[in-house]
Amino acid sequence: MSGTPPRGKDGDNDLAEAAREATEAVLEPSESVELAAPAVGSSLVLTQHRLMVVRDGANFRPKTGVRTFELSSGIAIRIGPARSRVIIESGGKTINLFVRPEQLARAEAFVAEVRRRIYGDG
């Protein structure tokens, strides 16, 4: 794998340098970042086949710094009831990511795109 994950056409994957490096370390050779959204203490990353949660300081957390989920019907993602968090459920486990008000629009767009890819347009 070479170089930096490519930027989306609208600059949606402007990852912080540390998050970019952590993401690049787990990308498959044919995979690239298609969409990213910031959250408190982490970033949400979408590739052609996976959803990733990249925690700030991921380089210091080799086992838990980057969590990856295959895009399939076995994963659920939604905006939480208080609209200040993203909830990801997979394999009986739940991850809650908090978002600031200024991050909410990007988080909502990210969740909508992941859901579209998992469940289709309908």
Supply the CATH number for residue 53's domain: 2.30.29.30
Q: Check residue 12 and give its pLDDT.
A: 39
Within a domain: 11: no
Please give the share of the chain, as a percent, with pLDDT higher than 70.
Answer: 80
Domains held by the chain: number: 1
Q: Check residue 5 and give its pLDDT.
A: 45
In the predicted model, what is the mean pLDDT of residues 20-30? 88
pTM of the model as a whole: 0.82
Phi, psi of 85 (to 5 degrees): -150, 155
Do the Cβ atoms of 69 and 47 come closer than 8 Å? no
Within a domain: 2: no
Q: Sign of the C-alpha dihedral, residues 76, 8, 47, 24?
A: negative
pLDDT tier at 11, thresholds 50, 70, 90? very low
- What range does the domain containing 113 cover? 17-119
